[in-house]
Amino acid sequence: MGNNWQNKQVLVTGAAGFIPSHLVERLIDLGASVRALVHYNSRGDIGNLKEVSSDTKRNQNLEVVFGDLRDLATIKKVSSSCSYIFHLGALIAIPYSYINPSEVVNSNMIGTLNVLLAARETKPERIIHTSSSEVYGTALYVPIDENHPLQGQSPYSASKIGADKLAESFYLSYNLPVVTLRPFNTYGPRQSARAVIPTIISQALTSDRIQLGNLETKRDLTYVSDTVEGFIKVAETPGVEGQTFNLGTGCEISISDLVAEIEEILGRKFDIIVDKNRIRPEKSEVMRLLSDNAKAKKVLGWVPQYTLRQGLRKTIEWVEKNLNLFTPEKYQL
């Protein structure tokens, strides 16, 4: 168990995003050379990678490449000579998937297909494909293990189910060394207001009222450093090709209790306003996500290190320093 990451060439897709940027940082610190695929934009904006590239030592082992997952030629090019592919690139906002389902399906399914096709030619040691707990839909039983039925309750979750099945099919059809990781709701520094925790915190730091959607939904919240360690462990563990692993804490909390937790840390009370624009369509709402992480613990030796309170404190600290990145009064899709 355990890799020598020194001088290993590694590809991370979606690298400008929240979890991928933390993964890039961790891989570089372990000694890897990281090729970071960022979705092209005319501003040359590398998103969260700014926080990684500003460190001169880390920057020496970081190669940023602009491109689009939907372009197979690009994916073949960036995959070449990579020992590991960490595929995290995706359009992840559920509300956005209601508005633009075609774009979400194209990015998430065709993007994944291209990564798999490229890997058949470039032959990496392992491809780590990123799923989402949203593929389970509202829990039919708890805790949710890896055998729980998959339910496409939003175009986003349907696109991720499709991507997961493509990964599975390439393992079964071509013996491609793919492993699927299914993180439950990850949070922490660098996350945008698209997610509920930064939404609550940014409003709490700038107002006496907090606008939210459904307060009764329950989520299993994992701090980003713990999620990243799951990626590292699944890359390092031999013999797990073709398997799927949940990454979650095995604890759940309702959104209303989450607000109370943040109130306690900040030592303030807030008026909670339910904004109907933030509520998912009734049949699409995922009421409960609670992971069974026994498989990841047993096979990967992965154990979450952060309590919710510890993770929230670190996240609040980061949002406070970076309030310029947020528009708390606006609903972010």
- Residues acting as catalytic residues: 156
Query: Are 236 and 1 spatial neighbours (Cβ–Cβ below 8 Å)?
Result: yes
Please give the structure tokens belonging to residue 113: 């297909």
8-state DSSP, 213: S
The b/e string for 175-197 (b: 16+ C-beta within 10 A; e otherwise) is ebbbbbbbbbbbbbbbbbbbbbb
331 DSSP assignment: P
Residue 191: closest CA among 288, 86, 312: 312
User: What are the residues facing 178 on neighbouring strands?
Assistant: 127
- Six-digit token string for 17: 């995003």
Q: Pick the closest to residue 22 from 120, 130, 106, 110 (CA basis).
A: 130
Is the distance from CB of 146 to CB of 245 less than 8 angstroms?
yes
List Cα–Cα distances, 178 to 15, 242, 302, 330, in angstroms. Answer: 19, 6, 19, 39
Q: Which two tokens stand for residue 268?
A: 């303030």
Q: Is 135 helix (H, G, I), strand (E, B) or coil?
A: helix
Could you tell me the end-to-end alpha-carbon distance of the chain, in angstroms, rounded to an integer? 41
